[in-house]
Structure 1
């Protein structure tokens, strides 16, 4: 069974990033016929988007479901939703875990018509899925009983709140059993082994929520670590209570007496500690005394417990996969010289649990995840035969076998799972994504570059409208969250609708502060440099104006999370260069955001944006906040928000809606009552897509 080398990146992102927005012919005569058909189709689409019909009835209008609140959104013709149907039904398969004793796997998959993915058994290649869960909320971070495979443990939260609880799920069709206290937010660590034998325990870290804290307690928030057996959660034992936030646990040493702790400080600084499981005492291992600050993310001990594997950028611009000897204090890099960040890693295990034979690392190569393998003894790279094409999402070796499960996505598929024999290179496809349409025409994004105001080269990804659309095309600038995230190459899902059906070219910029371009680039938007990233979009407008196939007078900007802030900031700084803006769960005022985001995130976010308690920084943050400059928002604005968002509270959306509307700016507002940091439920996401298409008709498709 594969083991994670680093702590869960998703966990880190949920605490420190405004991200995860969820956030979607031949001969001349044939061409002429197709052109005529396209003209008719576009004509019908235009009528549908404008909402104009001769006898429109309630049956012709798309209604929001009971969990959606709307303000200012005009009637959306049901024809829009109908045209979106096939783009809302891409259903891939995510690899979750191997059975510890059998060549069978657990996968996550959204069944047709379901709101979100559930867990199922897949026992044979391309076999029928056997449902396991029927949970009422989305599931994440799943692990299987490592001894006999008798149950699962997963995390889930209600209504997008991210108040994650642990659940134990049996395979008898019963409901999952909650293991943790709902008054705290929890995450699970690695399973514990003592001298090669599993104890059936793992570490659970828990943090208090603002709703249960006094103002004074919020200033001194910490994290509690417990050792838990999921079959007897009431007997969980407290190991330690650590001050501050940003603590994550990794793997145990072979004796089961020590566990790795990671302390996240910022995107450019993190530490590795070791903690005694019996006493709770801890000592810092990295960075060493008098060493420079750097990223040190460690997840696993080596096979004899004398060293640890980690990802670090201590020696250069990019995170390298390294081994650190605890006695000699010496580093050895496995990926030295490769100008790519290590995205994540996993190990396989020997039959006798003596330790890892191979280490698999995912490298971020120009926005695409590539898989590499390294021998754990020689630490030399070993070629992998039979790799499928695509960007690697997951790689997990099966304990006791030669099978390596690899999940990949491509421009035409959300996620397919293959199993590769690590010795022979033989490859077998285990799943095929389900779709309501032919996706073979979806194109891989192209990389573009432009010079910003200070000469810095900025890059992004572009999806151009198909050739069937003539003339200069409108542009959608879609900005990622984070801000330490990155627009990556891969399946674009629902977003293909905008290019394939509406003829809009989409650009996903990686402005300064994005990850994947080195640690120096990552810091170029910190603190008082915040608006430099907004200027990168200003320079993108200049680039668009030079492109013969793009219409610089019809540009729509949107973004999710931090990208939502960017779309609002562009609206205030470049109102004359856009036709409208879509803000999804975005920050409208940095000070109110920092004062109301959950306390377990607050100090981590202050490192990135600045400390609002400092008078000078507070004044600066207020001055650049979109709310302060809302009078400059002149073009239509569409704000989308989840009511239960713990990262960017709903108040951020509602205050910018009120302020912009008070300035007579046309504002649309959509709020998900059972959503958090983006819309995770299918029925809500589908209405959001239809509303965005309607908004595009009002702004860039006129």
Structure 2
């Protein structure tokens, strides 16, 4: 792969988070131009953005203090995900105060999410979570910004996170996040100090967007009593649910205007977000067809995928499509105005970027699986192309119609891509999502194998030249594919993937331990431990036939380095073709653009070497 192609595909500015100052005509942005993530202020009057220094570490999320005088950051100092919270002066970037402790993680909303309001409306208090008392749970605390003192308002027995203050500042909405499909909401009363659950009993998702203007309800995306997420109003006194929008697809994000008078929400359809708006009582529903096509919303605002009102009439959105990286937009909710606020693409010169075809094929047990098929230019029945099956991580995540430099680099090298949303993926209902629970590397791998069968129906695909690859859980699935059907694959790439489910269930981060038994399995139960051992790719590593590239971050807090070390040693002992890239300064992802460039280049070169050997020999 020519360095110039990867350089072009990674030349964009990476937009990580966007936070509007409500009613203030300004945005705070976190973006990475290639030399590390930085905090920017962007006024909406057309003036140039300004960068604010934020000290050591990589900021990932930001939120304005309501008075506009400060910005709160979530910062990962060394890539180990022990986040610190730092409030910086909005004019100078100088630190006002910071919360940090060795081995402790602090959050001002749900992990990796955006769209919460952790500051009280009068800017006097900040709500946050931390696991300093017990590394396995998160307590909720409130910091008095005038004194710098914090008090615990909810002592956790699970993971609890502050979400939104009520309009009068007298109550705080708190979320318990047990599993990704098992939430509960609580209200903390500031005057009495009491915490009260407001959601009905039972397992359901409750994704809050904010309070009603009168403080009697919160607006949520929920699957309460149904399978798909819909938009609803939840009465905080009675717990009654009033449905406002129940489309045939999932409502994955909700935002409330500063006055509480308007709503905006996103619905995922074929990997793209349809954005809607309405009055707070659910009337005058309007789809914003003028919004750019692409992915804008994620559950809980993961990765910056949240909507946010700038004022009563405009909403900000971070939107990406397969041929353009995420950009920040302002969308009119009462008219058709669209304003792009960033230029993250910076006019990349990589040619012929490819849009996917969205398809559906029958998966394991006939369950429909949606997938994104990327066909390289020039591939046809007379000149079939190799294909890489790319498996997403999570496992409760998904592929979408969004920009991915790796996918486009593979396509530029003449390799097609199949990106399936196998069971366990989000966006297709909670029943589909829960199918992966206690079945890791099981039915989802069967879904991948059915995807291979589907590729056999496409005349432009050379099914004798298939590779499989993925990161995190996708790395586990990649390894499982290699041992389940070794004859299918010519090569594979495993990025940060667990190889041993017993080790994975044992060495997960401490704050995941409460969910592990129902999510992965119970290592203390002999029968369950044996089930996990038999499902682990490492147990059957001698079956791996395809050449394998393994990439691992030495600081990875989610998937221990041991998974990759042991697997690589096992393969090398029997003389198997394996390459190992150990990134000493990375965790579970890429903080360094240079590391990302090196990995994508090696990934594509590995696929080209084994799927297109004639090309390599000719070169």
Alignment TM-score, normalising by the size of structure 1: 0.80
Find 2:156's aligned residue among 230, 233, 242: 242
> What are the residue-to-residue correspondences of 1:226-375 with 2, within 5 Å?
226-230=141-145, 232-233=147-148, 235-243=149-157, 245-278=158-191, 280-288=193-201, 292-336=202-246, 338-350=247-259, 356-375=260-279
> What are the residue-to-residue correspondences of 1:79-98 with 2, within 5 Å?
80-91=2-13, 93=15, 96-98=18-20
Residue 455 of structure 1, CA deviation: 2.3
Label 1:537 to 1:192 Cα distance change in 2 as closer, same or farther (>3 A): closer
Residue 326 of structure 1, CA deviation: 3.4
Per-residue CA deviations over 1:369-399 (Å, capped at 9, x if unaligned) read 1211121135552454743333334432224
| In structure 2, distance between residues paired with 1:312 and 1:421 | 26
Label 1:651 to 1:577 Cα distance change in 2 as closer, same or farther (>3 A): same
Query: Secondary structure at the residue paired with 2:161?
Result: strand
Q: Indicate the residue corresponding to 2:295 in structure 1.
A: 391
| In structure 1, distance between residues paired with 2:165 and 2:43 | 30
Label 1:383 to 1:562 Cα distance change in 2 as closer, same or farther (>3 A): closer
Find 1:203's aligned residue among 127, 146, 157: 127
> What are the residue-to-residue correspondences of 1:587-666 with 2, within 5 Å?
587-666=498-577
| In structure 2, distance between residues paired with 1:193 and 1:573 | 50
- Within the alignment, does 1:480 sit opposite 2:392 as a pair? yes
Query: Secondary structure at the residue paired with 2:587?
Result: coil
Q: Indicate the residue corresponding to 1:107 in structure 2.
A: 29
Residue 656 of structure 1, CA deviation: 1.2
| In structure 2, distance between residues paired with 1:299 and 1:260 | 10
Per-residue CA deviations over 1:148-173 (Å, capped at 9, x if unaligned) read x1221100112211100001222454
Residue 616 of structure 1, CA deviation: 1.2
Q: Indicate the residue corresponding to 1:46 in structure 2.
A: none
- Greater relative contact order (CA < 8 Å, ≥ 6 in sequence): 1
Label 1:313 to 1:127 Cα distance change in 2 as closer, same or farther (>3 A): same
| In structure 1, distance between residues paired with 2:352 and 2:172 | 49
| In structure 2, distance between residues paired with 1:376 and 1:178 | 37
Per-residue CA deviations over 1:124-147 (Å, capped at 9, x if unaligned) read 466432111354432122011211
**RMSD (Å), alpha carbons:** 2.5
Label 1:375 to 1:436 Cα distance change in 2 as closer, same or farther (>3 A): closer
Residue 202 of structure 1, CA deviation: 1.5
Q: Indicate the residue corresponding to 2:411 in structure 1.
A: 499
Label 1:429 to 1:534 Cα distance change in 2 as closer, same or farther (>3 A): closer
Residue 457 of structure 1, CA deviation: 2.3
Residue 456 of structure 1, CA deviation: 2.3
| In structure 2, distance between residues paired with 1:482 and 1:264 | 16
Runs of 5+ in structure 2 lacking a partner? 110-115, 297-304, 614-619
Runs of 5+ in structure 1 lacking a partner? 1-48, 50-79, 210-216, 351-355
Find 2:331's aligned residue among 413, 420, 432: 420
Residue 523 of structure 1, CA deviation: 2.2
Label 1:90 to 1:595 Cα distance change in 2 as closer, same or farther (>3 A): same
| In structure 1, distance between residues paired with 2:460 and 2:337 | 44
Q: Indicate the residue corresponding to 1:169 in structure 2.
A: 88
Residue 640 of structure 1, CA deviation: 0.8
Q: Is the contact between residue 193 and residue 254 of structure 1 (CA under 8 Å) also seen in structure 2? A: no
- Within the alignment, does 1:540 sit opposite 2:416 as a pair? no
Per-residue CA deviations over 1:77-97 (Å, capped at 9, x if unaligned) read xxx324422122122545622
The answer to which of 656-665 and 425-434 deviates more is 425-434
Label 1:98 to 1:231 Cα distance change in 2 as closer, same or farther (>3 A): farther
Query: Secondary structure at the residue paired with 1:569?
Result: helix
Label 1:422 to 1:594 Cα distance change in 2 as closer, same or farther (>3 A): same
| In structure 1, distance between residues paired with 2:467 and 2:357 | 20
Residue 579 of structure 1, CA deviation: 0.8
Q: Is the contact between residue 409 and residue 604 of structure 2 (CA under 8 Å) also seen in structure 1? A: no
| In structure 2, distance between residues paired with 1:174 and 1:377 | 40
| In structure 1, distance between residues paired with 2:542 and 2:119 | 60
Residue 548 of structure 1, CA deviation: 1.4
Label 1:125 to 1:690 Cα distance change in 2 as closer, same or farther (>3 A): farther
Q: Is the contact between residue 247 and residue 262 of structure 1 (CA under 8 Å) also seen in structure 2? A: yes
Residue 473 of structure 1, CA deviation: 0.5
Which aligned runs of 4 or more in structure 1 are off by greater than 6 angstroms? Answer: none
The answer to which of 412-421 and 612-621 deviates more is 412-421
Residue 410 of structure 1, CA deviation: 2.1
Q: Is the contact between residue 272 and residue 293 of structure 2 (CA under 8 Å) also seen in structure 1? A: no
Q: Is the contact between residue 478 and residue 507 of structure 1 (CA under 8 Å) also seen in structure 2? A: yes
- Within the alignment, does 1:514 sit opposite 2:425 as a pair? yes
Find 1:466's aligned residue among 377, 382, 385: 377
- Within the alignment, does 1:681 sit opposite 2:596 as a pair? no
Q: Is the contact between residue 209 and residue 255 of structure 2 (CA under 8 Å) also seen in structure 1? A: no
Aligned length: 597
Residue 605 of structure 1, CA deviation: 3.3
Q: Indicate the residue corresponding to 2:77 in structure 1.
A: 158
Q: Indicate the residue corresponding to 1:223 in structure 2.
A: 138
| In structure 2, distance between residues paired with 1:81 and 1:285 | 55
Q: Indicate the residue corresponding to 2:616 in structure 1.
A: none
Query: Secondary structure at the residue paired with 2:155?
Result: strand
Residue 544 of structure 1, CA deviation: 1.9
Residue 655 of structure 1, CA deviation: 1.4
Greater C-alpha Rg? 1
Query: Secondary structure at the residue paired with 2:227?
Result: coil
Per-residue CA deviations over 1:509-567 (Å, capped at 9, x if unaligned) read 11111111122211223224741111112222222233211111111100111101000
Q: Indicate the residue corresponding to 2:100 in structure 1.
A: 181
The answer to which of 82-91 and 523-532 deviates more is 523-532
Q: Is the contact between residue 126 and residue 432 of structure 1 (CA under 8 Å) also seen in structure 2? A: no
Residue 419 of structure 1, CA deviation: 2.3
Query: Secondary structure at the residue paired with 1:120?
Result: strand
Query: Secondary structure at the residue paired with 1:629?
Result: helix
